[in-house]
């Protein structure tokens, strides 16, 4: 998770799952809950103190830069008590060796109280908070196992975080419902004063695995069927264009939407903050509660297992040929339609997990969301061109709002 205020940067890190896939919610579209089936019979899937120490020591020692980012993810990481993270901070200080250490924390927000907020503030955690807009949209999918919606509790958490001046970003899922109301969705975040927003499209397919998992791996191909909660390419493109039109006219420089910032980075030839739009990937493996490492948070499948930090040195894990090939494949396995696209520099074929469609030429491995992204890039192109020009001439991209208001006159110096 990265702050969208700095769209041209990307940390290299290992995402940690201290409580595995365990969660107190049962969100309909969740891709991670069923990962518990990978460890059937293991009992409570919780990271041990011994593994925590090994992870922190080896992870810091591996770094080649003065800044280190730890990301705590789930499942739901607040299922581990605050004392677990106090121990983690103690180990970070012990092993820092002069490095600056930051912590990011992704949560559903339902278990955050005053004590958690004080802890986050005291230790400068950046909190990613999952919230899917207004109550009717959020509670449609983000419910407790009992069926009770979680929106009201998350809104209480926002008040608590704000009261303690905790820095937080919104992580919002675009599914078949939220995609139908793009402006209502976007306006909600503005109304609650959230200036950093990440919109993530839901694309999942059903495929029954022998161990009980029901969601398809990218390698399951045509045998899988789309889930009803997935966003369609057409709806995704419409959603992005509608929100962009509002943002580019009124909110540039005030509200930071990661995908728009990352698109501008691509336009500039820079590395975007969101990995899905980067040329290659493989920079952000994920570590499960027991030390198992997989190529990516969205590739926690047996086919993408890399090893375990207890038995394989972390340096060796991140340099494994399988991981390096995984990262290169994002670039090297593009369809001809992608390679010849005018917007390759902005998209790079998007996330490999969504490359199960067929291209216009009948080539397999094309991105399911391609039509939606192409619509957005072609729609936003004149504005991206202007903002790129502003940046190249040391001017603020936010001047695009004034340019639009003036009727979009020619801005290139002759």
* CA-based end-to-end distance of the chain: 41
The residues with which 293 forms a beta bridge, in sequence order, are 287, 307
- CA-CA distance, 149 to 93, in Å (whole number)? 39
CB 207 within 8 A of CB 220: yes
Please tell me the predicted confidence (pLDDT) of residue 319: 84
Query: In the structure, what pLDDT confidence band is assigned to residue 6 with cuts at 50, 70 and 90?
Result: very low
- CA-CA distance, 177 to 162, in Å (whole number)? 28
DSSP, collapsed to helix, strand or coil, labels residue 348 as coil
Query: In the structure, what pLDDT confidence band is assigned to residue 218 with cuts at 50, 70 and 90?
Result: confident
Please tell me the predicted confidence (pLDDT) of residue 10: 41
Query: In the structure, what pLDDT confidence band is assigned to residue 8 with cuts at 50, 70 and 90?
Result: very low
Please tell me the predicted confidence (pLDDT) of residue 11: 47
CB 224 within 8 A of CB 216: yes
Please tell me the predicted confidence (pLDDT) of residue 9: 37
Q: Half-sphere exposure of 395 toward its Cβ, with a 13 Å CA cutoff? A: 14
What proportion of the chain, given as a percentage, has pLDDT over 90? 88
Query: In the structure, what pLDDT confidence band is assigned to residue 41 with cuts at 50, 70 and 90?
Result: confident
Q: What are the pLDDT digits (tens) for 224-252?
A: 899 999 999 999 999 999 999 999 999 99
- CA-CA distance, 76 to 289, in Å (whole number)? 12
Mean of the per-residue pLDDT values of the chain:
94
Instruction: Please give the C-alpha separations between residue 146 and each of 24, 33, 142, 143, 176, in angstroms, as whole numbers.
Output: 10, 16, 11, 8, 23
Please tell me the predicted confidence (pLDDT) of residue 316: 86
Look up tokens 């990262």; give the residue: 327
- CA-CA distance, 204 to 226, in Å (whole number)? 6
Contacts of 146 (CB under 8 A, 6+ apart): none
To the query of whether residue 297 is one of the catalytic residues in this protein, the response is yes
- CA-CA distance, 329 to 279, in Å (whole number)? 10
Q: What are the pLDDT digits (tens) for 85-142?
A: 999 999 999 999 999 999 999 999 999 999 999 999 999 999 999 999 999 999 999 9
Q: Which of the residues 102, 184, 297, 406 is marked catalytic?
A: 297
Q: Is residue 362 left, alpha or beta, with left meaning phi > 0 and alpha meaning psi from -120 to 50?
A: left
Q: What is the mean pLDDT of residues 186-199?
A: 97
Closest CA to 150 of 159, 138, 158: 138
Please tell me the predicted confidence (pLDDT) of residue 63: 87
Please tell me the predicted confidence (pLDDT) of residue 87: 98
- CA-CA distance, 4 to 303, in Å (whole number)? 32
Q: What are the pLDDT digits (tens) for 297-328?
A: 999 999 999 999 999 987 788 888 999 999 99
pTM for the whole thing?
0.94
């Amino acid at each position: 998770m990265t702050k969208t205020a700095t769209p041209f940067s990307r940390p290299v890190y290992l995402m940690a799952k201290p409580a595995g896939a365990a969660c107190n919610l049962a969100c309909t579209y969740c891709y991670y809950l069923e990962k518990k089936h990978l460890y059937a019979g293991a009992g409570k899937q919780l990271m041990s103190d011994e593994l925590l120490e090994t992870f922190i020591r080896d992870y810091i020692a591996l770094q080649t830069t003065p800044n280190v980012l730890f990301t705590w993810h789930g499942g739901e990481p607040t299922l581990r008590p605050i004392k677990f993270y106090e121990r983690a901070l103690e180990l970070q200080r012990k092993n820092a060796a002069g490095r600056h250490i930051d912590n990011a924390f992704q949560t559903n927000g339902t278990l955050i109280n005053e004590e958690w907020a004080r802890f986050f503030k005291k230790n400068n955690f950046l909190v990613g908070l999952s919230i899917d807009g207004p109550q009717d949209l959020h509670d449609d999918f983000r419910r407790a196992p009992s069926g009770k919606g979680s929106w009201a509790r998350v809104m209480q958490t926002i008040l608590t975080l704000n009261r303690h001046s905790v820095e937080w970003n919104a992580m919002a899922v675009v599914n078949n419902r939220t995609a139908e109301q793009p402006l209502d969705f976007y306006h909600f975040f503005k109304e609650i004063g959230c200036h950093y927003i990440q919109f993530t499209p839901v694309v999942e397919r059903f495929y029954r695995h022998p161990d009980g998992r029901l969601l398809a791996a990218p390698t399951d191909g045509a045998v899988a069927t789309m889930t009803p909660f997935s966003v369609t390419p057409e709806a995704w493109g419409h959603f992005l264009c509608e929100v962009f039109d509002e943002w580019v006219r009124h909110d540039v420089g005030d509200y930071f939407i990661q995908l728009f910032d990352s698109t501008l980075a691509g336009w500039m030839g820079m590395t975007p903050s969101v990995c899905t739009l980067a040329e290659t990937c493989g920079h952000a493996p994920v570590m499960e509660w027991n030390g198992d490492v997989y190529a990516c948070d969205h590739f926690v499948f047996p086919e993408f297992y890399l090893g375990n930090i207890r038995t394989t040195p972390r340096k060796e894990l991140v340099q494994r040929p399988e991981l390096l090939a995984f990262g290169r494949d994002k670039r090297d396995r593009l369809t001809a339609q992608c390679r010849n696209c005018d917007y390759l520099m902005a998209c790079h074929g998007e996330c490999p997990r969504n490359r199960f469609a067929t291209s216009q030429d009948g080539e397999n491995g094309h991105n399911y969301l391609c039509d939606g992204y192409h619509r957005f890039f072609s729609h936003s192109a004149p504005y991206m061109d202007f903002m790129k020009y502003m940046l190249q001439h040391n001017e603020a991209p936010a001047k695009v709002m004034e340019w639009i208001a003036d009727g979009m006159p020619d801005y290139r110096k002759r």
